Structure 1
């Protein structure tokens, strides 16, 4: 598939993905964290369950709106090859594949490797693995500069908070 590299916008997709991670994580964590107390003092189990909910929430947004909050800011829409909206199973499958192959389940540090490999694949082939398998298209519209700024600032802040929290937690184990 030959696409104009300028239309692929891998960095917009990266920052949009991070924006969605922030929004979904904060929303779901605020709702579920205390209700998951039966897992004891094991934050990794809680985070795993929150991650599963995040996958479901992302797929639900794509099913209903064709985009997530981050994709809305990034002026990105996901459709099938026929130009139609995805049904829920298509949206869930695409989201699962993006999380597994594109982010290695958002495991710290490994996720950046997965995202880098996905970026390279997107530039080389013009499509990500999950979009190819699910037969979906990612459509980009004009993106004003203020939306770039919002996405990047929030993405950087969230990643810093997550990595500092992980390092703090690991140091507390020693």
Structure 2
């Protein structure tokens, strides 16, 4: 399974330290629970976390998150917008962006083939197949509307112009 975690850099660094420690020391929590009480296992894990937190505090600031055995820092990403917990914020955020970003200021050359949305994990493309893939994953009414009118967009040259950019 894969999770995206956002938060204070100290907490994220500590998470990396803890998972690195668990891996390096080959600590099997299930096996511990066979030989220790649940309270003892919890206390053992708390001790590990406290020691890892001390390591984090000793590091120079600002912290530069590093890849660990089980962690990969996502540079430039401050919040997990793809999380369903944030779904209620999509409409207000879209509205905000529509007010602040004008279509004429978007350089598609910086997006097409270079921007990789979390939804698809594939480089952004202005193709019908790409939009169909996004629609299959999201059931977005906005994307559905674009697909329903795809031929109109192509005839108007909007898709071809964007692809050339």
Question: Normalized against structure 1, the TM-score is what?
Answer: 0.27
Structure with bigger strand share is: 1
Structure with bigger helix share is: 1
Higher Cα radius of gyration: 2
Larger RCO: 1 or 2 (CA < 8 Å, sep 6+):
1
